[in-house]
Amino acid sequence: MKILVALKQVPARDSILEIDSSGRTFNHTGLQSEINEPDAYALEAALQLKDQQGGEVVVLCAGPEEAASSIREALAKGADRALHVLDDTLEEWDPLSLARLLAKAAETESPDLILTGLQSDDTGSGQTGVLIASLLGMAHATIVMKIEVNGRTLKVKRELEGGWFQYVSMPLPAVLTVQSGINKLRYATLMGIKKAKSKEVKTLTSKSLGVPAGHKVVLERLSLPRKSKETVMLAGSPAEQAAQLVEKLKFEVKAL
């Protein structure tokens, strides 16, 4: 079974972001990067399926040269090889153009299953997986919590709203977008890090794949969230004040 995992390199979650002088992006100088967290869970799901079913896990990552560090991390965790679509302009591409690029790269592997995270931590569009499925004409499911493989059939558990779940059966090949937190992420071992150095990383470009440059998404203005404080005085008897407090915690703060 060949599983392709599409992952993205994003700024580290604990990074302190500073808006640059243009006001349209943040300053990348000295910024630490990591594997997009939802994609890390997709990678772990793929590695667990490989442990159960055999086969290989191939990582697909589109991005600049710096993305090589995330690719090597995925290889150190157990992926067998990788495809790196090298391009410094992908940050400006719209989701459909990026999906076309990834779908074209995926076609070169003819995978049985494509996994990706539900969305990226930076743009959060949540469109990549379903667009790839549509472009390749594959069955797909989103917000996947559990994956079972039986021959050429998948059974997946999807998370719905309000604590509900849905169980769906579908044929392979398929594309699944994986929900964060469905499994426990593994760490790269020292042996895995050593082996990663000798694993194949094939470099591709949009030109070699025959994909034209994507449409640009222009961000007009970027700003940090405004911090504000507000004090509300509750009036009435202790019982009335308690009732008001519970109502505000439920419907305004949404802490209950």
Encode pLDDT of 46-96 as tens digits.
999 999 999 999 999 998 899 999 999 999 999 999 999 998 888 778 889
Q: Which amino acid is at 26?
A: F
Here the contacts of 225-232 (C-beta below 8 Å, separation 24 or greater) are none
What whole-number distance in Å separates Cα of residue 61 and Cα of residue 83? 6
157: left (phi over 0), alpha (psi -120 to 50) or beta: beta
**Considering the entire predicted model, what is its pTM?**
0.81
Encode pLDDT of 203-222 as tens digits.
999 889 988 877 777 778 87
CA distances from 13 to 17, 122, 129, 224, 227 (A): 10, 9, 22, 16, 20
Domains of the chain (ranges, CATH numbers): 2-204 (3.40.50.620), 226-256 (no CATH)
Closest CA to 7 of 88, 167, 118: 118
Encode pLDDT of 138-179 as tens digits.
999 999 999 999 989 999 999 988 889 999 999 999 999 999
